[in-house]
Structure 1
Amino acid sequence: MDHKHVEELFEWIDEAATAIEYQENSTYLEAVAGALDVLFHHAPFDDMADLLKQQLEKHLKDIELNKYEKEEIRKATQLAILKGMKGATQQQHLITPDTVAMFMGYLTQRLFPGEKELRIFDPACGTANLLTAVLNQLDKKVAAYGSDVDETLMKLALANANLQKSEIEFFHQDSLRPFLLEPVDFVLADLPVGYYPDDVQAKEFTLHAEEEHSYSHHLFIEQGLRYTKPGGFLMFIIPNFLFESDQAQQLNEFLREHAHIFGMLQLPESLFKEEKHAKSILILQKKGEGTKTPKEALLAKLPSFKNHTAMADILGQINQWFEKNHSS
């Protein structure tokens, strides 16, 4: 990957988005989605003002999209989205750190070493940064699906996938409602943390709270298991307090009945502004015929991703664990 390519593509997106934001009086984030669409179609849209069309047509002459690799496009797009999300306080407007997305791609490869085809679903896909980061690391035929309730994030996800030429089918809906989707081999998500406001829909889940609102992150785990094949895997970014909250006992009992805990990897605290926001990667296997809990789960506290020596050491240990417990 060429970092100069990432920088110049980001600058192109940023300039186009700034022009759209100013001319159409939209938010920068909405303008980024528009800029990505213009870049993909290599033409402004018919309903744009003449002055904006002229600016974008001139701007398009400065770009040759075919020279960029998928990862360069993903990273440049991510930088523009991050700029648009600065100061955004909504939990759903946060993006999975790049190092974490890449690490989850590596873990996905280890979970599915022999499969030639794979069906993947991210029920909280946001801008599809995590999903495309994982897809870009897989050397197999993949059918991918993503869902999010936020319209702006869905527009960004679609434009992001189009530019990377990633075939992903998106659902723009509340991800805790039913999907027209056959069960998949693998569910992954950076779980939205907080309360789910729809108490009526929450009652469709075993993990709904008896009093007050249910935790959306609990319901997402149950929803993920619903859409995973028996024996399939799930990988979630979870808050470190997941198994210590007031509804943790209910969650523990549910997981014991429906899944094997395959592993839990605590992410470096340096990634998070405050310790209370620290997260881990939880790996589950849905129970099925012939599945069993590993003799020892994959448990580790990850060092800083910048500490290459410590990281190489932990990757060696993780590889050994997979050879011993999951080499099929």
Structure 2
Amino acid sequence: MEKTDVEILFEQIDNITETVQQYSNETYLDSLAVTLEVIFYQHPPEGMDEKLQEQLQNFIPQLDVSKYKTTEIRKALQLAMLKGMKGATQQQHLMTPETVALFVGYLAGKVTAGKKNLRMFDPASGTGNLVMAVLDQLETAGSVFASEVDPTLINLAVLNANLQKKEIEYFHQDSLRPFLLDPVDLVISDLPVGYYPDDIRANDFELKADEGHSYSHHLFIEQSMKYTTPGGYLIFVIPEFLFDSDQSDKLHAYLQENAHIVGVLQLPETAFKSEKNRKSILILQKKGPNTTAFNQPLLVQVPSFKETKAMDDILAQMNAWFAENMNS
């Protein structure tokens, strides 16, 4: 069977990364960052092992990313990053599945339809796969911002954006600290799940825990609301248990006061490695002077992405819901 362009490009990136890894004794993800620099600048970084430099010089003429489509580059890089994350134990080193990222992009297009010069922000961008998948589907994005605290992931995200010729302004910081950022029209995020270790910083949030560590996924929702314009939208990939946890009463009250729930989509179990990793998508609108609650929020049980007929039916129902409820 003939290889696709995505497979060909992935294999080339993978070969170079493994070569870098042999010489540098770094992780696959850190070696991948070196590879992407070499591809982008078309020469090896200065100060590296001479033998490795020679090897990389041999790879460079064979690798011309300009002949690939942006989506092919994104998917090939995604495969390389997934390979690097296979051995990673940290939760934040898990990537948003492609099908889920595409779904978020579809929803982003629906809630921002007709909006010119859209300002978008992902406060937990990881390697940037979600924000770039959404950008591929949004025609009206003006300014795009993203934040990530992990140095390896943000390095990969910036190189990823450069190779795809996407203009994204990155913040390298703890995303629960203040940003030098004007409010945006749309926030998208695959929420980091777990406890936030900085209790002093958490004290500034309404959604802080009454005792012990606060949930970072709750604080991320509040932080995102802070940087959204009144009437703006937020699309979160959330853990299935978000509204059933021990601190969920506080979250319910906070959302009731500050947001309208646009919809909740339960994603198919098949999109995730296991039942405990299962996620949903939560769509919110920040309350503003001209906003009103939705009569009937969009509640959807998404079928397996492989079930084409069921998927078409669900999309038709969702399109009808958006046509009826988002005409304001």
Q: TM-score range by the shorter chain?
A: over 0.9
Gaps of 5+ in 2: none
2:322 counterpart of 1:312: no
Q: Which amino acid counterpart does residue 288 of structure 1 have in structure 2?
A: G
In 2, are the aligned partners of 1:231 and 1:288 still within 8 Å (CA)? yes
Greater mean deviation of Cα atoms: 210-219 or 272-281:
272-281
Aligned to 2:263: 263
Aligned to 1:61: 61
2:288 counterpart of 1:288: yes
User: In structure 2, what is the Cα distance between the partners aligned to 1:212 and 1:55?
Assistant: 52
Deviation, structure 1 residue 292: 0.9
Aligned to 2:191: 191
The one-character-per-residue Cα deviations of 1:142-166 (angstroms, maximum 9, x if unpaired) are: 2111111100000100010000000
Aligned to 1:201: 201
Aligned to 1:211: 211
Pairs aligned (count): 327
Aligned to 2:116: 116
In 2, are the aligned partners of 1:113 and 1:327 still within 8 Å (CA)? no
2:101 counterpart of 1:101: yes
Taking structure 2 as the reference length, the TM-score comes to 0.98
Aligned to 2:40: 40
2:283 counterpart of 1:299: no
Q: Which amino acid counterpart does residue 140 of structure 2 have in structure 1?
A: K
User: In structure 2, what is the Cα distance between the partners aligned to 1:220 and 1:186?
Assistant: 14
Aligned to 2:235: 235
Deviation, structure 1 residue 23: 1.1
Aligned to 1:172: 172
Aligned to 2:25: 25
Q: Determine helix, strand or coil for the equivalent of 1:300.
A: strand
The one-character-per-residue Cα deviations of 1:200-239 (angstroms, maximum 9, x if unpaired) are: 0000100000101000000000000000000000000001
In 2, are the aligned partners of 1:122 and 1:189 still within 8 Å (CA)? yes
Aligned to 1:140: 140
Q: Determine helix, strand or coil for the equivalent of 1:61.
A: helix
Q: Which amino acid counterpart does residue 66 of structure 1 have in structure 2?
A: S
In 1, are the aligned partners of 2:100 and 2:271 still within 8 Å (CA)? no
Deviation, structure 1 residue 3: 6.8
Do the aligned partners of residues 120 and 141 (structure 1) sit closer, same or farther apart at CA in structure 2, a change above 3 Å counting? closer
Gaps of 5+ in 1: none
Runs of 4 or more above 4 Å deviation: none
User: In structure 1, what is the Cα distance between the partners aligned to 2:262 and 2:141?
Assistant: 25
User: In structure 1, what is the Cα distance between the partners aligned to 2:18 and 2:327?
Assistant: 49
Taking structure 1 as the reference length, the TM-score comes to 0.98
Q: Determine helix, strand or coil for the equivalent of 1:136.
A: helix
Deviation, structure 1 residue 49: 1.5
RMSD over aligned CA atoms reads 1.1
Q: Determine helix, strand or coil for the equivalent of 2:300.
A: strand
Q: Determine helix, strand or coil for the equivalent of 1:280.
A: strand
Deviation, structure 1 residue 121: 0.4
Q: Determine helix, strand or coil for the equivalent of 1:96.
A: coil
Deviation, structure 1 residue 53: 1.1
State the identity %: 57
User: In structure 2, what is the Cα distance between the partners aligned to 1:276 and 1:78?
Assistant: 23
Deviation, structure 1 residue 57: 1.1
Deviation, structure 1 residue 307: 0.6
In 1, are the aligned partners of 2:97 and 2:272 still within 8 Å (CA)? no
Deviation, structure 1 residue 318: 0.3
In 2, are the aligned partners of 1:231 and 1:287 still within 8 Å (CA)? yes
